[in-house]
Amino acid sequence: MRIQHWQDAASLLVGAWLVASPFALGFSGAALWISIALGLGVVLFALEAFIIPSYLEEWGEMLMGLALVVAPWTFSYQQGSVTTSSVLAGVVVIVLACWELAMDRDFATWWHDRWHHRAG
């Protein structure tokens, strides 16, 4: 198990925060379970990046981040720390995933070969 990108370690920490935040901030109801479930998803994608390095897990992290951003309004969280934690964590996860994709050589090669070829 080797860390190729520091963004994966940062995503792992954000996922751990999401799992711990319901207890630290006193969430209840749907917010508690959704935060834990999406946090575990972020953790699993980050761990997958350590075990089988690929650019594909970043797409999963972006989906998790998007779910975190829209969850407060989809599931009618109360305003305040619950919404703030979910939205900020979601934005951080999306930014880290995009940043890693921008720096990943395998993805850059794939992108270039797929979309920047000459016509004809």
Q: 63-113 pLDDT, tens per residue?
A: 999 999 999 999 888 778 888 999 999 999 999 999 888 876 665 555 555
Report the predicted TM-score, pTM, of the whole model to 2 decimal places.
0.82
| Number of structural domains in the chain | 1
Residue 120 lies in a domain: no
Is the residue at 90 inside a domain?
yes
**Structural domain includes residue 1:** no
Judge residue 60's burial from the number of C-beta atoms within 10 Å of its C-beta, 0-12 exposed, 13-18 middle, 19 or more buried: middle
The 10 Å Cβ neighbour count of residue 79 is 8
2-55 pLDDT, tens per residue? 567 788 889 999 999 999 999 998 888 888 999 999 999 999 999 988 887 777
- Domain encompassing residue 13: 6-115
